[in-house]
Amino acid sequence: MLVNNAGIHSWGAVEELSIELFQANMDTNYFGALRCIKAVLPSMRKNKSGKIINISSIAGKFYSNFHGAYAPSKAALEALSEALAQEVAPYNIKVFLVEPGITETPIFSKTNKVSTDTKYPNIKRFVSLFAASLQNPISPDHAAEVVNEIVSGKRNTLRNAAGADAERFLAFHASMKDEDWVSSVMVDDETWISGMEQMGLPVRKFMEAEKLHEF
């Protein structure tokens, strides 16, 4: 049994983030998991048994502005997991993805500070969404319970959303055409705030604050 749970997080505009931050996200979130997988596969294959559980994120399927460093690292983990699942199936090895939403963990206090002098609009929306979500946070226990269900055999699906917000965000994204998703950033602030509040996210106070919220 292998559970890949280590992860780091960065946010900001693609142009304004350093290459080092992109590399750090890939090295931990993707290559870190890959190293562990390669370490356990020989024994799992020999024993013709094993489970590999990769903790991904809805960001692995839900690509948002200012997540250009983090989301690709999780998308790569998703692709690796699906490819690997087919390769190891003949050896009775199963691969699983757990996809939490915005979960209250120390990752946010360790992430890079969002630049206040960004050249790109809507950064306040992005930060406000996370701040509002963490006002009524999703506990890591939700992801842990999904892992427990996989370990016990109660779950056998490749992809497993963790937390009500994860399912809500994934459904919201899936309901839109790619072009509509891209153009959705062009709505005015009031329309955006209203849309978020309809999803149960009280973003207004963070949008109306003079400064960006700090985590």
Question: What are the C-alpha distances in Å from 205 to residues 3, 108, 125, 162, 177?
Answer: 38, 20, 11, 27, 30
The SS3 of residue 11 is coil
Q: Which residues of 122-149 are buried (b: 16+ CB within 10 A; e: fewer)?
A: bbbbbbbbbbbbeeeebeeebbeebbee
Annotated active-site residue 120? The verdict is: no
Residue linked to tokens 């979130």: 29
CA dist., res. 145 & res. 113, Å (int): 31
Can you read off the two tokens belonging to residue 20? 């080092």
Catalytic residue among 30, 70, 91, 120: 70
Distance CA 67, CA 12 (A): 6
Q: Which residues participate in catalysis according to the annotation?
A: 70
